[in-house]
Amino acid sequence: MPSFFAQLASFIAGPAKPAAAPAPARGAKPPAAAPKSAERQALEQSILANRRKILTNMAAMQQEREAALKARGISSQDMVSAAEIARRILLDQGNH
């Protein structure tokens, strides 16, 4: 399972972009990019603002979780160790 920060990074980057089109033949003019309408630009800005809000909320939730664990005396290293122990147990079960 990817870590929180790996998920966050993939969320920020957005969906994977398709492969670039092959370069045009020499001397051929590249197609002109259509100008973006004001409505589309406003929509893109709104989407970016919403992403920033979501990321802020996710970071706040992560900090709250870490603070709750810290208050209970559980460190993130303890959580990693517990996950590693569980993984080893599960992987080892098939060997007997």
Distance CA 96, CA 93 (A): 6
pLDDT reported for residue 15: 61
Rg (C-alpha) for the chain, rounded Å, is 23
pLDDT reported for residue 40: 93
The count of residues in the chain is: 96
Determine contact, residues 69/75, Cβ cutoff 8 Å: yes
pTM exceeds cut of 0.75 = no
pLDDT reported for residue 18: 59
pLDDT reported for residue 57: 92
SS3 for 24-84 is CCCCCCCCCCCCCCHHHHHHHHHHHHHHHHHHHHHHHHHHHHHHHHHHCCCCHHHHHHHHH
Give the type of residue at 80.
Answer: V
pLDDT reported for residue 91: 80
Listed by start position, the domains of the chain span 39-96
What is the residue-level pLDDT of the chain in tens, covering all 96 positions? Answer: 567 766 766 667 666 565 566 666 676 676 667 778 999 999 999 999 999 999 999 999 988 988 888 888 877 777 778 888 888 888 876 555
Distance CA 92, CA 86 (A): 10
